Each structure stands twice: as structure tokens, then as C-alpha cells.
Amino acid sequence: MSVACFQRIERTVGRCFGLLATILLLAVLATPNQAFAHAALIKADPADGAVLAQTPTQFSLTFSEPVSPLVLTLVRPDGTPVALTSFRLNDQTVAIDNPQKLGPGTHVLSWRVISADGHPVAGSVLFSVGAPSAAPAVAEAIDMDLRSAIWTGKVLLYIGLFLGVGGAFALTWLAQGVHSGQRFVIAAILCGLVAAPLSLGFQGLDALGAPLARLGQPLVWRTGLATSFGWTVLISLAALGLGLLSLVGPRAGARPLALAGLAGVGAALAASGHASAAEPQWLTRPMVFLHGAGIAFWAGALLPLGLALNSQSADAGVFLGRFSRTIMPVVAMLIGAGTVLAIIQVQTPAALVNTAYGRLLLIKLALLVFLFTLAAVNRWRLTALAEAGATEVRRRLSRSISVEMLIVLLIFGAAAGWRFTPPPRALAIAAAQPTSTHIHTLKAMADIDITPGHTGEVTASIVIMTGDFGPLDAKEVTLVLSKPDSGIEPIKRPATKPGDGSWRVDNLVIPVPGRWTARLDILVSDFDIVKIEAPIDIRP
């Protein structure tokens, strides 16, 4: 490999990072709010804004999917934080013990949890004992330094896995005898070997909501390792090790090692992330595996191939021939798996434009169209001529491949941005969650669930009981929803009995979001009516 050529690659890579930084900016700007992540809080007890007569013995947080708590803190009215360490997980609910008596005033229950995709989510619930006071300040700002670090770590890990391990596969399986790009591939693997553990630390920091300065603490690393991203890092390290060994180890074992490395790339990606956490798992995880392994196959071969063609080596034609014969099914698989995952994640075409996740996907698709155009020109116009040995064509092909490399790096940047954007699938799950309220009076109590808990057409499900938890056989139940500050007349609908002991109101349309008052008029007997009411929050 000539020095000039290496310099050119360095320049190309440098340019790539400039563009990647632009994409990072785009990705972060397009991300609306970190509170919108995948595991969404759907119910809190005490509810946000609640005023309690006395100290609750426990708190409970219910999420849209099972989570495990990372940090639970109660901030007292005077701003002193109290760590809450005793909690139990019950499916999607986290029940937290409150060990102490609370003084009067507004408290903040601050939570940070992680769900199956390995991405931490945080938020807080304000409640007051006795009467509300000024809420204590709780910092929950987006840590841009940490976000940049996570994103950079992710891009470097992609370079290590796709260009490094993928490159090792290309060199051992496709480019027998050609060693062009071997130094670059090894460098990419080493870059991955550094980025993988660092990413684990960043993940730990994100999980704990800690600043970059705490990277040295063992707790941060243990926390990172305990998340599903810990598996991604461990498998990545194994895959990177296998890739490296296939290049520097004994030649006899090179091919199986490189193949195992390639499989490791797919497995590492399938271990965590939005797409792997999506349902149905039997479909998404294998699809992520195929997608990851396919990218490594393709992207990994580009640089060694470009350099081989540029160096005009005799074996470059053989390399190019093998690559162009195998790439078609691999790309077909790559597109197939990618399409399946995109459909599962994005769900509706509108979400492509309306969500940060969708916009990143559009950027990625635009880059892909460009990449496929170049690849198609290479494959069908230049490859045959280059295989035959036409020097000028080989140069052109080599230049085209360096542009492809650039686009591939941009795609890595866009894909790494997904770390900060919940997929429309998760947003839809969160939006479909019901909103609930519980009413308890001496005469009667009721649970009202409004599904979905946002504006538009909804269904209300009502369970009523007597004030002492006995069965309440009502003659009629009427739901009255009112929002006096909205200028809308109360919405009054008789409930029907579906036959399972509950009452329901179908085809109810809630016009505006906010805090509504839900009242139940329960006709207990001909001359006896009980009216109970409670506030219920309707999401936009």
C-alpha cells in the first residue's frame, strides 16, 4: 500500500468524521425529549400532583413494559435526596418501600429505569404531603457531553465490528493472497477493542444519570455490564478478538475464526437495542443478526477491495470476482431484514416524518439509495471490465469504493443516533396505554380505565364496588366527563354491562387533553343514587 494512498484514506476518514458530527447534531436536535423513551411511565401511585393526607408506606410506578430500576430517589421539600433501595418488581410495576415518615410539603420521586432494549429512561413524580410547597429542584437535563461520548463510542464500535471484523472476513475468505488493507482492518479492530469497553462505561454513566467525570467508578461499570448492552459489549469483544486472531494467528484456522467473528457481529447487535427488544422476538432478533452480519460482509470488503484494485495487484481480479458473485444474495438479505425491522419499528408511514426515529431512518435510506446506485454501477458497468484487468477502470472502481466507504461511515453515524430516539413502535405502545383513576368514598369505590389514554375515540372501562370492597350491583352507571376550564359541556354517557362484572362506555370521544373530572352516577336502587368523582389525566 502506497503512502499516498494511505494519506488519502486518512483524509477520507477525517472528512467522514466531520460529516458524522453534523449528523450527530441533527440526531440530537431532532430528539424531542428524553422522557419519551421506550418504557413509558403509565401510572404512578401517588399520582403526579397528588396531595396526600399522610405519609404513603410505599410508592408504585407502572411502565408500558417490564423494567428494572437503576436509581430511585426521593427528594425532600428542602432538596435533600434520599436513596430508595428497597423495591420489588411485579411484571410492569415497581413497588418501592418508603422507609420513613415524610414531613409536610412537596416531594419528588425521581426514577431512572432500564428496559429490555438496554436504554435508560428517567422521570419524576411530584406529590405533596399535607399541602403543596415549592417543589425542590431536581436536575434532569440532557448531558450533551455524555450523549456525544455514547454516540462516538457507538460509531467507533461499528467501525471495529463492520470494517474490522467484516474486513477480516473479507481478507480471509474473499481475498486470498491479497493483503491490501490488512493494516487498516487491524487498526479498525483495535479501534473497536478500545471503543467497546469505553461504550460500556458510557452506558453505565447513562444508566446512573452520572456525569462523564464519574467514568472511573467501579459502580458505573458494573451498572453498564448489568444492562443488556453489557452482552453487546462482551460479544463484540469476542467477535473483535476472533477477527484479530484470524488475521495474525496461524493461517490454517483463519477462515473458521473469521466466520465466527462475523457471526459474533450479528449476535452482538442482536443482544441489545431498539430493534432487538421489539416484539415478536423470534423474528426481530434473527433479523438484527442477519442485518448486522450482512453489513459486516459488505462494508468490511469495501476497503480491502478498493485498496487491492488501486494497487493493481494481480490477485485483485480474483478478489473482485468473488466479492461481486456473493454480494447480491447478501445485499438482498440485508435489505430484506432491514425492511422487516423498519416495518416493525416505524409501523405507519406518517411516523417516518413525525418522529425523530423516522427522520433518522429517512436520512439513512437516502444515504442507502446513493450507496446502492454507486454499488449497482460498480457491479454492472465496471466489475466485468475491471476483472479483465483494465487499469483505468480499476482506478475508477477504486475511487467509487472510497466514496462508498464514506457513505457507509455516514450510515453508521445515523444508525448510532438511534440510541437516543425511541422507535415509533415504542411510542405507539406508550400512547395506547390506558389512563386510570381510582375513586374511594364511604358509599362506593370505582376504578376507571380510559383506553387509549389520549384524546380521540376511547373506551372507558369501569369497575365499581361498595366502600368496603363488597360487590355493588348497580341498576345503571353513567359516566360524566367534564372539563370546566375548556368551555366544553360535560360529556354524559350511560355505561353498558359487557357481562364480565364491569361496566363500559364505547365510542367515547375526548376532544382535548388535560385534567378532566370523571364522575360516576351509580344508580344503586330505584331511589338511591351515588355520585363519585375524581380527576383523570388525558394525554394529548
Partner 1 sequence: MNKYLLPAAAFLVLGTSAAFAHITLETQEAPVGSTYKAVLRVPHGCDGKATIAVRVQIPEGVIGVKPMPKPGWTLQVKNGKYEKSYQLYGEAVASGVKEVDWSGGSLPDEFYDEFVFRGTLAADLPVGQKLYFPVVQECDGATTRWIEIPAAGQDEDALEDPAPGLNLLPKK
Which residues in this chain contact partner 1 in the complex, by CB under 8 A?
523, 526-529, 531
Name which of 515 and 531 has its Cβ closer to partner 1: 531
Beta strands in 360-513 (DSSP E): 435-440, 444-451, 456-466, 476-483, 488-494, 503-510
CB 488 within 8 A of CB 504: no
Cα dist from 179 to 149, 156, 185, whole Å: 33, 23, 10
Q: And the C-alpha cell for 232?
A: 453487546
* Other CB atoms within 10 A of residue 539 CB: 17
Note the Cα 150 to chain centre separation in Å. 13
Least distance CB 533 / partner 1 (angstroms): 12
Q: Which of 152, 235, 237 has its CA nearest to residue 193?
A: 237
Task: Choose between 78 and 526: whose C-beta lies nearer to partner 1.
Answer: 526
**Nearest CA among 433, 456, 540 for reference residue 44:** 433
Output the smallest distance, CB 443 to partner 1, in A: 9
Shortest spacing between CB 492 and partner 1, in angstroms: 10
- Residue 74, sorted as left (phi over 0), alpha (psi -120 to 50) or beta, turns out to be beta
C-alpha to C-alpha distances, 316 to 145, 303, 390, nearest whole angstrom: 44, 12, 12
Nearer to partner 1, 135 or 529 (CB): 529
CB 523 to partner 1: min, Å: 7
CB-nearer residue toward partner 1: 205 or 530: 530
Enclosing H/E stretch for 535:
strand 528-538
Contacts of 342 (CB under 8 A, 6+ apart): 361
Q: For partner 1, which is the closer residue by CB, 169 or 516?
A: 516
Minimal distance, residue 476 CB to partner 1, in Å? 9
Q: Which is nearer to partner 1, 333 or 523 (CB)?
A: 523
Which residue, 282 or 527, is less far from partner 1 as judged by CB? 527
User: Considering the complex, what minimum distance in angstroms separates the CB of residue 528 from partner 1?
Assistant: 7
Helices (H) and strands (E) in the chain, counts: 15, 17
CB of 488 to partner 1, least distance (A): 17
